Amino acid sequence: MNRRAFVLAGIAAAGLAGAAIAQDASQFPSRNIFIVVPNAAGGGLDYFARLVGAKLQDRLGKPVVVENRPGANGNLAAAQVTKAAPDGHTLLLGSIGMLTVNPVVVSNLTYDPQRDFTPIARIAKFPLILTVNAKAPVKTVQELVAYAKANPDKANAAATGPIFQVVQKMFEQRTGATFTYIAFRANSEAMMALMRGDALMSLSDVGPATAPLQDGRVRALAVTSPQRLPSHPDVPTMAEAGFKDMAVEFWTGLLAPAKTPIAIVKKLEAEIQAIVKMPEVVEKLAAHQTYPAGESSEEFARIIARELVQWGEVAKKGNIKIE
């Protein structure tokens, strides 16, 4: 075959491949869609999967089934999705912890977030809130830092899981204060320890802190979002409190197996972007102290890449490694 014929054959093959992908997208979905969640039923990620899954089912006209595969630091859920056909019918409901924190602190992961998955779109994001025991003699982040430095024996922090441990370590690195980290099984347990006075501070989801804040058992010093929260308008951001490099937002998003055709990814991306803008979805997210995201596949991929570097640096400097 001469060079011209070779080029023409290549162009023809590319055209056929493009037509096949377009056909795949036009016929997608052809059967049930499964959203695999790396947490138990009833948890936060499960809620997002069922909220979005119900809307996706309505819009695509095919059943959307939520499968809960908790355990092994996300390995079970990841394995199910990475072994699935890359055709858009098996998806992963991933989170910041699973995709950008665990990969840099957990040693036995069987998945690589960039190699094994194709991001579709982020669904929701939510900041953390820095709270202290109401009887603690601090009313600002600056006062907390000064108090911790002057009273190292009283400086401890309550939270749960690798992601909160890494965020806590970031706070220490940004402020120069050191806190003894106390791990709990759930944020609600950490908040109870804070209310009892067993812990000085906690960086947690806003949800578990809301009731204790309302009845005065804990005090809020700052939120980690770029802007103040509508639900807590009097609580300053970390930047307003004097720490501009302490902006952190947790998130969740939908991903497909690697090598899923881009046309199918884009079809799902458009659906998720439309769903998270629905007034009823925005309202339900707000009720859980979360906010719609909706970034594109490309933007989502950039977020994952950036945070892998960010959390990797924090974990390395803080010597955080989980076996």
Instruction: Check residue 13 and give its pLDDT.
Output: 46
- Please choose, from the candidates 72, 76, 55, 73, the residue with its C-alpha nearest in 3D space to the C-alpha of residue 64: 55
Note the pLDDT tens digit of each residue in 194-221. Answer: 999 999 999 998 988 999 999 999 999 9
Write out the DSSP string of 191-256.
HHHHHHTS-SEEEEEHHHHHHHHHTTSEEEEEESSSS-BTTBTTSPBTTTTT-TT---EEEEEEEE
Residue 160: pLDDT above 90?
Answer: no
- Please choose, from the candidates 119, 44, 34, the residue with its C-alpha nearest in 3D space to the C-alpha of residue 81: 34
**What average pLDDT does this structure show over 70-75?**
89
Average pLDDT over all residues of the chain:
91
Q: pTM to 2 decimals? A: 0.88
**What average pLDDT does this structure show over 174-183?**
95
Residue 5: pLDDT above 60?
Answer: no
**What average pLDDT does this structure show over 299-321?**
97
Question: Model confidence at 34, in pLDDT bands (50, 70, 90)?
Answer: very high
**What average pLDDT does this structure show over 70-82?**
92
Instruction: Check residue 293 and give its pLDDT.
Output: 97
The percent of residues in the chain predicted with pLDDT above 90, rounded, is: 82
Write out the DSSP string of 163-174.
HHHHHHHHHHHH
The percent of residues in the chain predicted with pLDDT above 70, rounded, is: 93
**What average pLDDT does this structure show over 179-189?**
90
Burial (CB < 10 A; 0-12, 13-18, 19+), residue 227, is exposed
Residue 302: pLDDT above 60?
Answer: yes
Note the pLDDT tens digit of each residue in 242-301. Answer: 998 999 999 999 999 999 999 999 999 999 999 999 999 999 999 988 999 999 999 999
Question: Model confidence at 24, in pLDDT bands (50, 70, 90)?
Answer: low
Question: Model confidence at 26, in pLDDT bands (50, 70, 90)?
Answer: confident
Q: Which two tokens stand for residue 211?
A: 């009731």
Instruction: Check residue 10 and give its pLDDT.
Output: 47
Q: From the CB of residue 193, how many other CB atoms can be counted at a distance below 10 Å?
A: 18
Instruction: Check residue 107 and give its pLDDT.
Output: 87
- CA Rg, the chain, in Å? 22
The bridge status of strand 117-133 relative to strand 218-223 is antiparallel
For residue 73, give the amino acid letter. Answer: N
- Alpha carbon separation from 152 to 149, 171, 179, 185 (Å, rounded): 6, 15, 7, 24
Instruction: Check residue 47 and give its pLDDT.
Output: 95
Instruction: Check residue 19 and give its pLDDT.
Output: 43
User: Could you check whether the bond before residue 208 is cis, i.e. omega within 30 degrees of 0?
Assistant: no
Instruction: Check residue 108 and give its pLDDT.
Output: 85
Q: From the CB of residue 20, how many other CB atoms can be counted at a distance below 10 Å?
A: 12
**What average pLDDT does this structure show over 235-246?**
95
**Apex CA 126: angle with CA 116 and CA 307, to 5°?**
40
Residue 6: pLDDT above 50?
Answer: no
